[in-house]
Structure 1
């Protein structure tokens, strides 16, 4: 890609207008669409001391004349990182709306909180009175990404509309939010330390490399560290209540994708154990799409979970001691696996409308169950396909829980031998005597299997 020549460059710093043009020029062919005014349009604010570009924070410098500039090399690095991102527009993550919508009308000087900003932008566009107060014609961007060009809106039957973004963009914005939080935390620590040593009346300014003054020097941030099983065996109900746990989680990289900073503690809802710190994207990807408490849809995102990325996800799920020693999965995940993998050959197919000889599975897989994993003799999984032309609600199979668990154990040994070798009933000591069932067990079967 030809690089745009930037005018008015002095000592490696370029003014914000030139930085806008450079960013737009360098990212023209990126899979992720970018904004043409990433430095000069809200929510970017040079006075904060930095501007977010993708997952990177670019420091802003103010000369004695009042003009704000940025290091050109940092803009180029951020553009190169964004160019390397691959985006699948079909792999979507819901970004709203959710309960507890943000309140208030002014968010310009607040931290990124990109989900809240997206909801507010969309709410303003849907309200004529609020849209009239909206800055006319200003770009829609977050961290230099033009999210409006890739936003997907869905409206279900008798349900409110929902908004979705590609998973790659969600990970970028999560990384930007994490970078900003680290930047602000380091800046606050630096200011508190300086206030304790400098006279109160002294106005502090750090000199730039060329002798000019900057009100916001570049603030290095500590990169997240790799997760190495430090939380293994901890119960989520205990760990989640400890003070400062959110800050501790943010210090790790996501234990699944290992590319984005962690944001939440993923845990097993049946056994109660913490699995690992993960990013919002991976937490959304692994969560079953519940229709009801005992009824889930098997969305397309389960394909990599059980195929190309199966070993990583199986190792992650088996970080729960309960699942590992049982050589199984939580009931919703086992149900999804059964529907997607074990019953794959029974799913109806149809011809490709583009003329290809290959046949594609049609409809949407759904699996429900009766009973609970605590009563395996009576627990039954029912796999169906919805919205199939050959039958709107077509039952494919009814699989007893024990059979599903046996099938999974066989598949696990073939797919991930190392994960299967670490599992088994030899390390049951220390497990809770009572597990939290997904569906209340009203039978008298007791813990017949477990």
Structure 2
């Protein structure tokens, strides 16, 4: 019998209430893309398959009960421990290929948390209040000149040296737990079992062995999910995954092209509410990437007109603002809405993104030739207050531009006119 994620969570929590592992049954409540990689959710080293039923993800209650019973039988001997190999910089510095980096690796994840926590602790020590990236190797957008100078004067390598608490810099275990104590690996909270023994951080052997099994099984499922179900070619992680009636399928662009129709724009100007009742979006290829099966009809929420069939990935990417607008064909896709095209505009949620891109094109810090970075600041009484930052001048790098709603509309109109003119001339 298929059951809801909420019921599956309650069943698992009841079966594992006396388990020696720090199980987090809430992992069975999936996010939007939880099943994208291989269609399963792991709790411990047990994979529970997800099924899509009437547009909602569900589980087979037999799978959930088998997982709960298996995990309840696991014992953890706190006296029998192994080295967790943390902190170790090689786990996040040696990225290799992106595909390798995306592979599950519980030791790398723990090390990422530790070095990210050390960085957050360092920011806190210098009084910074800027959000820190989840990946400690990511760059930061730094707009406060005082913080910029403080970080410039700081030596990165010194932050990674092991400090008095056996962690990078001045990081304490309490700080690590406060930052990442609720994070999970394989549906468990590893920091609850991590302890210090002499010069090493250790985990119970049984728990570490279970994480190794999870890692191996997760990678095997992910590799299997990369194989096209049509021609058996192997792609990269999630590249060919497309939604289907009962979950996800893997189809390469060639097989997708043979299996689904190319959208020819025949529904341009048709109202979304009427078209979605008579035409199935998943009969078509995505009109943006032209590689994956479409899953929904993308439409303008302001005018209600169909723009075209898109896959889940491209639909999500549409929310990326400036990044989406820079993608070839994206603006033309938005203008498939007859209302936007006739009014020479874009949906209002893109207006500020167009303005930010425009300001980065025309604004400069004094005589500096470097392109500044414009970012949202605040919106007060019909005026956008936009902050620009030039990375070439740390001490005097920030200034503000005010753009009214009317001025923003004019910038958008000029942007649309250029796009339409370019399309007609090509």
Q: Same fold (TM over 0.5)?
A: no
**TM superposition score normalised by structure 1:** 0.39
**TM superposition score normalised by structure 2:** 0.40
More helix by share: 2
